[in-house]
């Protein structure tokens, strides 16, 4: 299906970024004051777009919003006790990412331990390093009163690109179908025993933690919550040349049995 008026909140806030991007590409004018509130799913791709195009954007007329955008893009040293993790560039070496992931985990640590939440964060980041071959990747997180939102994006080969590179017979699939394949367990892992795949992480996050997940990769997208997934075929104004994942987890995070949700999704390995 295509995007509609009654989209989930995560989808609608990604569409805010798409409108701002389209406005700039058509008029060379970027007015961030068009919206009075920004979630990570809008901020992260927008700041990435601004950097890529060396744009001097119009400051937000609301001083509070303008200050927040300045803080979230700051590279100031990390201090504990904050409600956010500002935009961070992912290092090329996966082992150097642990410090940033621990900062995200610390955002929910006051509620007590959640092995399921920790597992999902590490597994989704592992997927980026295993499959995307990114040149640039970024993440940010923000804790609100009743949920935490995390957004990660990269400019890698995309989920559809990775599937089609490894399974040439699927080269004519629509991009949203390739995302469906990945979530349903089609694996492109080169090694056995390296986690249980995207499908298990998605199931644990949406069914176990009752979180909400939005994935955009090339011209395909998927929104998943505890009810059911919705897949989208995107036009050029909505596409993302790489992979963007935005997720919201309710606070406090639920303590669930990880092993109810993680298991090998498919025996089909390369």
The answer to the question of residue 1 being in a domain is no
The per-residue DSSP string of 45-63 comes to: HHHHHHHHTT--PBPPSSH
* CATH code, domain with 78: 3.30.565.10
Which residue is associated with the tokens 């919206």?
A: 35
Radius of gyration of the chain (CA): 18
pLDDT band at residue 179 under the 50/70/90 scheme: very high
The answer to the question of residue 4 being in a domain is no
The answer to the question of residue 3 being in a domain is no
- Cα angle 84, 55, 3 (rounded to 5 degrees) comes to 70
Check residue 107 and report its DSSP letter.
T
* Average pLDDT, integer, range 158-167: 88
pLDDT(28) > 50: yes
The total number of residues written for the chain in this structure: 270
Q: How many domains does the chain have?
A: 1
Q: In this prediction, what percent of the chain has a pLDDT beyond 90? A: 53
pLDDT(1) > 60: no
Domain that holds residue 217: 9-269
Within 8 A by CB and 6+ apart from 152, the residues are 44, 90, 124, 125, 128, 137, 138, 139, 244, 245, 246
pLDDT(78) > 70: no
Say how far apart CA 202 and CA 206 lie, in whole Å: 6
pLDDT(268) > 60: no
Q: What is the pLDDT of residue 131?
A: 72
- In this structure, what token pair is assigned to residue 216? 């955009």
First-residue to last-residue Cα distance in the chain: 31
The answer to the question of residue 207 being in a domain is yes
Say how far apart CA 147 and CA 209 lie, in whole Å: 11
pLDDT band at residue 129 under the 50/70/90 scheme: confident
């Amino acid at each position: 299906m295509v995007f509609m008026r009654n989209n989930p909140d995560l989808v609608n806030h990604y569409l805010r970024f798409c409108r701002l991007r389209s406005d700039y590409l058509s008029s060379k004018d970027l007015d961030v004051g068009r919206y009075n509130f920004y979630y990570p799913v809008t901020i992260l791709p927008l700041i990435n777009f601004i950097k890529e195009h060396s744009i001097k954007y119009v400051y937000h007329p609301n001083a509070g919003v303008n200050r927040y955008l300045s803080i979230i893009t700051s590279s100031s040293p990390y201090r504990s006790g904050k409600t956010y993790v500002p935009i961070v560039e992912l290092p090329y070496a996966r082992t150097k990412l642990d410090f940033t992931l621990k900062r995200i985990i610390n955002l929910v640590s006051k509620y007590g331990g959640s092995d399921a939440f920790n597992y999902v964060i590490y597994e989704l980041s592992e997927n980026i390093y295993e499959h995307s071959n990114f040149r640039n990747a970024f993440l940010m997180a923000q804790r609100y009163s009743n949920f935490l939102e995390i957004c990660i994006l990269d400019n890698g080969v995309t989920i559809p690109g990775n599937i089609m590179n490894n399974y040439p017979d699927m080269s004519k699939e629509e991009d949203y179908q390739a995302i469906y394949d990945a979530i349903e367990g089609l694996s492109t892992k080169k090694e056995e025993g390296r986690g249980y795949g995207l499908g298990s992480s998605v199931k644990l996050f949406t069914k176990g933690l009752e979180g909400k997940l939005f994935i955009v990769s090339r011209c395909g997208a998927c929104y998943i919550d505890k009810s059911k997934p919705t897949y989208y075929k995107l036009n050029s104004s909505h596409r993302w040349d790489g992979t963007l994942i935005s997720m919201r987890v309710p606070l406090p995070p639920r303590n669930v049995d990880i092993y109810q949700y993680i298991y090998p999704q498919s025996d089909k390995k390369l």
